[in-house]
Amino acid sequence: MTPLLQVENVAKFYGARIGCTDVSFNLYPGEVMGVVGESGSGKSTLLNCLAGHLVPDRGAVRFDTRAEGLRDTITMSEPERRMLGRTDWAFVHQHARDGLRMNVSAGGNVGERLMAVNARHYGKIRASAIDWLGRVEITEDWIDDRPTAFSGGMQQRLQIARNLVTGPRLVFMDEPTGGLDVSVQARLLDLLRGLVREIGLSAIIVTHDLAVVRLLADRLMVMKDGHVIEAGLTDQVLDDPQHAYTQLLVSSVLQV
Amino acid sequence: MHCANRRIGRREINANAHDLWQLPNGIGSDHDRWSGCGPCRPREIIALRRNTLGYVSQFLRVVPRVSTLDVVSEPLLTTGTPCTQALETAQELLARLNISERLWSLSPTTFSGGEQQRVNIARGFAYPYPALLLDEPTASLDPKNRAIVLAMITEAKARGAAIIGIFHDAAARDEVCDRQLDVGQFTPGTMV
Amino acid sequence: MSDYNFAYLDEQTKRMIRRAILKGLAIPGYQVPFASREMPMPYGWGTGGVQVSAAVLTPDDTFKVIDQGADDTTNAVSIRRFFQKTAGVAVTEATAEASVIQTRHRIPEQDLRSDQILVYQVPIPEPLRFLEPSEVETRKMHGLEEYGLMHVKLYEDISQHGDIATAYAYPVKVEGRYMMDPSPIPKFDNPKLEMAGIQLFGAGREQRIYALPPYTKVVSLDFEDYPFQPTKADHACDLCGSEVSYLDELIVDDQGGRMFMCSDTDYCATRRRQGHVGTQGLPHKEDAA
């Protein structure tokens, strides 16, 4: 089976500082991979390197493209990479306003990716927008409202709908539940789990919240100071942490 | 202590896995792959867990605020069962395990220990996995529910499932187990 | 003869602007950056158009300026006088007689010929600016021909107003390649963008020049189920009776009385001279004009 994403020795430096280094893994279709670590551990740098927002200094990030199979997204041309960003990839930002157009209605936000791939029928675009708003539990009567009128949780769900409308195969998520209150987090987690199950999404989720990865991720990578210090199945890593830092991380979680 | 036990347990499973389990189409069916159950083959293990290997743990870990019915039907949905059918099966299981119907729409995180245990069992038995791991399935149950769970284990055996269970409850052990293995000999400190 | 260099700008500056114009003509619809100069008028009053006019004017030209179609508004009169004084060129109000026409917000009703140049004043040259504030990003979007965003604007129109409510500065695609803002002309004028004359667009504050060579293919954006429709007030001109020209609506008293009249004053006057009379118009008298 071909991996959906093949990451090989990716490294990114900020001058003499290490952003992340020696990261390698394969992600297969339908898998959800969590990346945890404290602030500054390099997890967001890694995510941005994988999603094409940053150019790594070393290594290869190969994506299984529909047309030509595995292609290194770092060396492919910018138009190709941006095309991937609009079609097969999705990026869910921690702050919904980074991923939304705040001066465009909810329907326009969801429809943008469709129009970017040349959908030119208003009725059909709107129908897809309504469908996707429904899937993220936003009722149709919000479709013409701007996201500025939405609550934080709704904005985040709108961002997810906007990203998934073109049927991406790989979703990058940067702290998707960060900054939301716990009940909204729970709803979002349930939603993401359902979407992963229904449409067979693969995802890479960066978070510092171990509870989130336990519930969403099949696999886990623990990062510290730019290095991957432990990786494995989520429950293996969390229930039986081998590295001292992971043990510290797991034992630092507040129990309710 | 708990950790050490688990590690011992894993080694034990490795040693016995291939003679107990008939796995479909080469998924982990050769011993080499199996013994590498570390991070090197996560994809196979994920697939295995999804379709082949059920697990009833002592701890209920679920997304908060998701209804009991959805929690129990999730393994069925993951394996491609249509939604209505999955919910029906979940209802039957919950009814059988004496979870009162008024609780079905609530999140199991608010339930008592025994109720959570039964929800966990319902979830584990919802999909007919060819192999099951049970961690103290009868531990916090009253006699009536204990009997039901033992009956469910017997039924799973009857349909051909291979089961490895941890039982402190000697009577339950004697009732459902064909082979028994005392892990006491592996416990650190008793080795000498 | 005035004390100014011909047409106010020095020769080096005019040469620089002409280079930008040539580049613009070579890549229709592409926004060419140029070093816009301070002009003796505020930004927003047509500094871009004036610089382009200054660069293309020759002593033999006949110059016409319209503002919203009218030759007699303040802005039009000032710019016309500016070039009368600094270039000493002939000026006219008749579309057919002009060789260079500077315009704000309209295309003359009368078809232009291949020996005429139309110079537009452009406030915001970037059609994508409404949705994407970053210049770096919009340049990249032009470079990679990523124009989905433009339809988002039209989508917003339909969802908010039930129809494409954009009535002016209606976005167009030029020769199947560049997305272009035709300046704030009414969308009624969009079909006229495919014309025999040369069209030059100057944005002074934003320092951009772009151009349409004669008969360039210009397509107004739309949706399959909401096709582009050039619209005008559903009325005839009350002065000259024309049913095909673009109209201004004028409130004439405190009782809500109103009249419609051609926004192109030269077109209206020409028709009235020919004897056409609208419902509120008086027969044309030569001395009354």
Query: For residue range B155-165, what is the model confidence (pLDDT) as tens digits?
Result: 999 999 999 99
C139, two tokens: 């340049």
Predicted local distance difference test score (pLDDT) of residue A250 = 87
User: C196-208: b or e for each residue (b if 16 or more CB lie within 10 Å)?
Assistant: ebbbbbbbbebbb
Q: Answer whether residue B159 is part of any domain.
A: yes
CA of B152 vs chain A CAs: smallest distance (Å): 26
Residues facing C200 on adjacent strands? C119, C211
C51, two tokens: 């610089």
- Of the pLDDT bands very low, low, confident and very high (cuts 50, 70, 90), residue C289 is very low
Percent above pLDDT 90 for chain A: 69
C46, two tokens: 């047509």
Predicted local distance difference test score (pLDDT) of residue A186 = 80
Task: Please indicate, yes or no, whether residues B64 and B31 belong to a single structural domain of this protein.
Answer: no
A126, two tokens: 């709107």
Q: Is A117 on the interface with C (CB under 8 A)?
A: yes
pLDDT over threshold 70, residue C1: no
pLDDT in tens, C262-286: 999 999 999 999 999 988 877 766 5
Q: Answer whether residue B165 is part of any domain.
A: yes
The model carries a pTM of 0.81
Predicted local distance difference test score (pLDDT) of residue B122 = 94
| Region A223-251 average pLDDT | 91
Contact B60, B74 (CB under 8 A): no
Q: Which residue has the higher pLDDT, C287 or C24?
A: C24
For residue A127, which phi and psi values (nearest 5 degrees)? -60, -45
Select the residue of C160, C223, C224 nearest A144 (Cβ to Cβ): C160
Q: Answer whether residue B87 is part of any domain.
A: yes
Q: Which of A64, A46, A47, A57 lies closest to A5, judged by CA?
A: A64
Q: Which of A236, A237, A242 to mutate to test the interface with B (most CBs of B within 10 A)?
A: A236
- Which pairing describes strands A32-36 and C258-262: parallel, antiparallel, or unpaired? unpaired
B63 and A232 within 8 Å at the Cβ level: the answer is no
The owner of tokens 């592996």 is B186
- Which pairing describes strands A32-36 and A202-207: parallel, antiparallel, or unpaired? parallel
Predicted local distance difference test score (pLDDT) of residue C2 = 61
H or E, element range at A15: none
The whole-angstrom separation of Cα C58 and Cα C70 is 24
Task: Please indicate, yes or no, whether residues B115 and B101 belong to a single structural domain of this protein.
Answer: yes
The whole-angstrom separation of Cα C110 and Cα C97 is 11
Q: Is C219 on the interface with A (CB under 8 A)?
A: no
Count structural domains, chain B.
2
The whole-angstrom separation of Cα C201 and Cα C183 is 8
C-alpha torsion sign, points A78, A83, A86, A87: negative
pLDDT over threshold 70, residue C54: yes
Q: Answer whether residue B144 is part of any domain.
A: yes
Percent above pLDDT 90 for chain B: 44
C155 and A118 within 8 Å at the Cβ level: the answer is no
Q: Answer whether residue B192 is part of any domain.
A: no
Q: Answer whether residue B191 is part of any domain.
A: no
A118 and C146 within 8 Å at the Cβ level: the answer is no
pLDDT in tens, A190-200: 888 888 888 88
Contact C194, C218 (CB under 8 A): yes
Q: Answer whether residue B121 is part of any domain.
A: yes
Select the residue of A103, A116, A121 nearest C148 (Cβ to Cβ): A116
C159 and A125 within 8 Å at the Cβ level: the answer is no
The whole-angstrom separation of Cα A128 and Cα A140 is 11
CA-atom Rg of chain C in angstroms: 19
A31 and B46 within 8 Å at the Cβ level: the answer is yes
Q: What are the residue numbers of the active site of C?
A: 29, 237, 240, 262, 268
Task: Please indicate, yes or no, whether residues B27 and B118 belong to a single structural domain of this protein.
Answer: no
Contact A203, A33 (CB under 8 A): yes
Predicted local distance difference test score (pLDDT) of residue B138 = 87
Determine if residue A137 is left, alpha or beta; phi over 0 gives left, psi from -120 to 50 gives alpha, anything else beta. left
Predicted local distance difference test score (pLDDT) of residue B5 = 36
Q: Answer whether residue B166 is part of any domain.
A: yes
In sequence order, the 6+-apart residues with CB closer than 8 A to the CB of B186 are B8, B11, B12
SS3 for A205? strand
Identity of residue B32: D
All chains having 3 or more CB pairs closer than 8 angstroms to chain C: A
- Of the pLDDT bands very low, low, confident and very high (cuts 50, 70, 90), residue A23 is very high
Task: Please indicate, yes or no, whether residues B102 and B165 belong to a single structural domain of this protein.
Answer: yes
B147, two tokens: 């009997």
Task: Please indicate, yes or no, whether residues B83 and B123 belong to a single structural domain of this protein.
Answer: yes
Residues facing C64 on adjacent strands? C101
B61 and A1 within 8 Å at the Cβ level: the answer is no
What's the CATH number where B112 sits?
A: 3.40.50.300
Between chain A and chain C, how many beta carbons pairs sit less than 8 Å apart? 56
Predicted local distance difference test score (pLDDT) of residue B29 = 35
Task: Please indicate, yes or no, whether residues B64 and B104 belong to a single structural domain of this protein.
Answer: yes
Domain of residue B4, residue span:
1-40
pLDDT over threshold 70, residue B21: no
Task: Please indicate, yes or no, whether residues B30 and B76 belong to a single structural domain of this protein.
Answer: no
Select the residue of A193, A214, A219 nearest B42 (Cβ to Cβ): A219
Counting Cβ atoms within 10 Å, is residue A163 exposed (0-12), middle (13-18) or buried (19+)?
buried
C155 and A122 within 8 Å at the Cβ level: the answer is yes
SS3 for C44? coil
The whole-angstrom separation of Cα C171 and Cα C219 is 9
- Of the pLDDT bands very low, low, confident and very high (cuts 50, 70, 90), residue B190 is low
Minimum CA–CA partner of A83 in chain C: C146
Q: Which of B136, B83, B86, B89 lies closest to B114, judged by CA?
A: B136
Predicted local distance difference test score (pLDDT) of residue C227 = 95
B172, two tokens: 């339950």
The whole-angstrom separation of Cα C280 and Cα C192 is 29
Q: What's the mean pLDDT when you consider all of chain A?
A: 91
- Of the pLDDT bands very low, low, confident and very high (cuts 50, 70, 90), residue A252 is confident
SS3 for B71? helix
Other C-beta atoms closer than 10 Å to the C-beta of C226 total 18
Q: Is A191 on the interface with C (CB under 8 A)?
A: no
Select the residue of C144, C159, C223 nearest A108 (Cβ to Cβ): C159
Task: Please indicate, yes or no, whether residues B87 and B9 belong to a single structural domain of this protein.
Answer: no
C225 and A121 within 8 Å at the Cβ level: the answer is yes
**Contact call for C and B: 3+ CB–CB distances under 8 Å:** no
CA B129 → CA A19, B42, B49, B72, C117, distances in Å?
A: 43, 19, 9, 14, 79
Q: In what order do the strands lie in the sheet with C117-121?
A: C32-33, C208-212, C198-203, C117-121, C100-104, C62-67, C90-91
Select the residue of C152, C225, C226 nearest A115 (Cβ to Cβ): C152
Contact A202, A29 (CB under 8 A): yes
Task: Please indicate, yes or no, whether residues B58 and B101 belong to a single structural domain of this protein.
Answer: yes
The whole-angstrom separation of Cα C140 and Cα C82 is 38
For residue A113, which phi and psi values (nearest 5 degrees)? -65, -35
Q: Which residues of B touch A240 (CB under 8 A)?
A: 3, 6-7
The whole-angstrom separation of Cα B145 and Cα A11 is 55
Indicate the DSSP class of residue C187.
G
Q: What's the mean pLDDT when you consider all of chain C?
A: 93
| Region C211-232 average pLDDT | 95
- Of the pLDDT bands very low, low, confident and very high (cuts 50, 70, 90), residue B96 is very high
pLDDT over threshold 50, residue B28: no
C186, two tokens: 């009414």
First to last CA, chain C: 30
Task: Please indicate, yes or no, whether residues B27 and B47 belong to a single structural domain of this protein.
Answer: no
The whole-angstrom separation of Cα C245 and Cα C186 is 12
A74, two tokens: 């770092």
Pick the range with the lowest mean pLDDT from A79-83, A97-101, B56-60.
B56-60
pLDDT over threshold 60, residue B11: no
Task: Please indicate, yes or no, whether residues B145 and B177 belong to a single structural domain of this protein.
Answer: yes
pLDDT over threshold 80, residue A163: yes
All chains having 3 or more CB pairs closer than 8 angstroms to chain A: B, C
pLDDT over threshold 90, residue C11: yes
SS3 for A55? coil
The whole-angstrom separation of Cα C278 and Cα C289 is 16
Task: Please indicate, yes or no, whether residues B33 and B45 belong to a single structural domain of this protein.
Answer: no
Between chain A and chain B, how many beta carbons pairs sit less than 8 Å apart? 47
